[in-house]
Amino acid sequence: MELSGETEQLYNEMVQKKDHLFSQDDLQNLITNKDPRQLMSAIQQLSDHDLVKIVQKGGDILYQVISREDAAKLRAMSAEESMVFRYIEASGRDGIWTKTIRAKSNLHQSVVQRCLRSLESKMYIKAVKSVKTPTRKIYMLASLQPSIELTGGPWFTDSELDQEFIDGLLNIIWLYIVSQTFPNATGDLNDILQNQQLRDPTYRGYPNIQQIHRFVKESNVATVELSEDDVKALCEVLLYDGKVDYLHDTNAYYATLESVALQQQKDAILVD
* Cα–Cα distance measured from residue 33 to residue 140, given in angstroms and rounded to the nearest whole number: 39
For another protein, the closer CB: 197 or 251: 197
Rank residues 48 and 241 by Cβ distance to another protein and give the closer one: 241
What DSSP character marks residue 56? E
Q: How far is the CB of 64 from another protein (least distance, A)?
A: 36
Measured distance CA(80)–CA(70) in Å, rounded: 16
In the complex, what is the shortest distance from the CB of residue 102 to another protein, in angstroms, rounded to a whole number? 22
Closest CB to another protein among residues 21, 166 = 166
Phi-psi label, residue 220: left if phi above 0, alpha if psi -120 to 50, beta otherwise: left
Beta partners for residue 127, in sequence order: 139
Contact positions vs another protein (CB under 8 A): 155, 160-161, 163, 166, 183-184, 196-201, 203, 233-234, 236-237, 240-242, 245, 247, 256-258, 261
CB 184 within 8 A of CB 195: yes
User: Smallest distance, Å, CB 197 to another protein?
Assistant: 5
Nearer to another protein, 92 or 242 (CB): 242
CB of 105 to another protein, least distance (A): 27
Q: How far is the CB of 117 from another protein (least distance, A)?
A: 30
Q: Which of 35, 25, 28 is nearest to 10 (CA)?
A: 28
Taking the least distance from each CB to another protein, the nearer of 63 and 155 is 155
Looking at beta carbons only, is 53 or 243 nearer to another protein? Answer: 243
Report the largest interatomic distance among the alpha carbons of the chain, rounded to a whole angstrom: 89
139, containing H or E segment: strand 138-141
| Residue 214: CB minimum distance to another protein, A | 21
- The per-residue DSSP string of 227-250 comes to -HHHHHHHHHHHHHTTSEEEETTT
**Cβ-proximal residues to 10 (8 Å cutoff; 6+ apart), any chain:** 27, 30, 31, 39, 42, 46
Q: Work out the angle between the directed axes of helices 163-181 and 209-218 (0-180°, nearest 10).
A: 120
Q: 90 or 239, CB closer to another protein? A: 239
How far CA 153 is from CA of 23, 162, 231, in Å, comes to 36, 11, 12
Beta carbon of residue 152, minimum distance to another protein (angstroms, whole number): 9
